[in-house]
């Protein structure tokens, strides 16, 4: 089992310990953060990344904010937490898990109706712990749901990083691969390097090494050649937001991979916790796409690789249309087209389960 933890609440310090993903694979380094401004910066700067990990990090950010209130007034702590919520919501715009987790924190704490500062603080920490535990359970459920479609000898193409460091543990799309491996399937993974930040080449390859899973890194543009000349069984990717028509926002390059998969008749599956389904988003056309600094493209590890002054367009995500997606793998099972119907049924069923 991996010897690292992506996210850990330090009860004695009332602080959050994060695995610094910007340092992998060079070193295994952790940062300890207590100020909400620093936690938000860690999300923005991708010290922590991956939609589920961002959501749980933000949840602990609210808990930490309550503990940093120096007065003994419940009202003051609640105001401080509200301010922290606004800061965290502004850290990254595309991943719906960030907003979902913050909403969940408020709903769960409100149900407990804390009447003292101590009870309020405890309720926030308990709610964040619950979200962290549930994330692991959800990821495992996604992996087990996918076993029905994973052959005994399975070759995958995977984009970006969706493993145990993009979540609390196990992962979504990479969790599917991990659970297939643990179930005795003979697994091989072609790992898209995932420009511009190389999350596949740096992070996914590193995680697969830790797990002892056979893999090869490929450049993003090699996927067509690989699908034409190798026996690829399926593409599996994660996602940051699912619209109600089945359009999916994910790391830039996912749309390209889906088009290539369709051209070669390779099934294209999206791993999606139900928390990534956005009931307010009718289609992917309305999803806000984050644009990131030009230096992510013009530099690699601080070394300039583009001409000085070159103009850059750097969207962090793209939207894959529903018609390119074979199925969406959730903790409640796999749903198939027509997604307008199956997503609505799934979402309503999940809401009823939590009433």
3-class secondary-structure state, position 59? helix
Q: What share of the chain is helix, strand, coil (3-state, %, to 5)?
A: 45, 20, 35
Residues with catalytic roles: 240
End-to-end CA distance of the chain: 36
Chain centroid to Cα 294, Å, comes to 23
The C-alpha atoms of residue 145 and residue 122 are separated, in whole angstroms, by 34
φ, ψ at 267 (rounded to 5°): -60, 140
Four-residue CA torsion sign, 117, 118, 120, 121? positive
The C-alpha atoms of residue 193 and residue 35 are separated, in whole angstroms, by 33
The C-alpha atoms of residue 229 and residue 223 are separated, in whole angstroms, by 10
**In the numeric block, which tokens belong to residue 291?**
């644009």
Pairing of strands 317-320, 248-251: antiparallel
Helix 36-44 to helix 51-67 angle (10° resolution) is 170
3-class secondary-structure state, position 307? coil
Pairing of strands 186-192, 153-158: parallel
Q: How far is CA 142 from CA 6, 170, 180, in A?
A: 19, 10, 11
The C-alpha atoms of residue 343 and residue 72 are separated, in whole angstroms, by 45
Contact 156, 233 (CB under 8 A): yes
Residue 103, Ramachandran bin (φ over 0: left; ψ between -120 and 50: alpha; else beta): alpha
Q: Which helix (H) or strand (E) holds 206?
A: helix 205-211
């Amino acid at each position: 089992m991996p010897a690292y933890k992506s996210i850990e609440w330090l009860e004695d310090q009332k602080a959050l310990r994060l695995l610094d993903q910007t340092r992998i694979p060079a070193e295994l380094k952790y940062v300890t953060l207590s100020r909400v401004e620093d936690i938000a910066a860690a999300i923005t700067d991708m010290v922590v990344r991956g939609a589920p990990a961002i959501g749980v990090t933000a949840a602990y950010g609210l808990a930490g904010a309550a503990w940093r209130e120096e007065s003994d007034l419940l009202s003051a702590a609640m105001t401080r937490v509200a301010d922290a919520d606004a800061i965290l919501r502004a850290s990254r715009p595309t991943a719906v898990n960030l907003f979902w987790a913050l909403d969940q924190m408020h709903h769960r704490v409100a149900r407990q109706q804390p009447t003292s500062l101590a009870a309020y603080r405890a309720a926030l920490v308990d709610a964040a712990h619950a979200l962290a535990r549930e994330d692991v359970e959800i990821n495992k459920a996604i992996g087990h749901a996918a076993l029905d479609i994973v052959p005994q000898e399975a070759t995958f193409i995977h984009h970006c990083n969706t493993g145990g460091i993009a979540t609390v543990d196990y992962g979504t799309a990479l969790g599917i691969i991990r659970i297939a491996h643990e179930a005795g399937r003979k697994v091989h993974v072609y790992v898209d390097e995932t420009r511009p930040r190389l999350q596949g080449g740096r992070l996914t390859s590193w995680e697969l090494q830790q797990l002892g899973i056979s893999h090869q890194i490929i450049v993003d543009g090699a996927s067509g050649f690989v699908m034409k000349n190798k026996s690829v069984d399926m593409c599996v990717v994660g996602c940051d937001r699912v619209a109600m028509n089945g359009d999916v926002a994910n790391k830039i390059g996912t749309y390209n991979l889906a088009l290539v998969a369709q051209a070669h008749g390779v099934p294209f599956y999206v791993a999606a916790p139900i928390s990534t389904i956005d009931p307010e988003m009718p289609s992917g056309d309305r999803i806000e796409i984050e644009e990131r600094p030009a230096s992510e493209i013009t530099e690699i590890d601080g070394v300039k690789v583009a001409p000085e002054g070159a103009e850059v367009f750097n969207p962090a995500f793209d939207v894959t249309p529903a018609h390119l997606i074979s199925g969406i793998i959730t903790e409640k099972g796999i749903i198939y087209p027509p997604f307008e119907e199956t997503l609505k049924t799934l979402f309503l069923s999940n809401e009823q389960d939590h009433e």
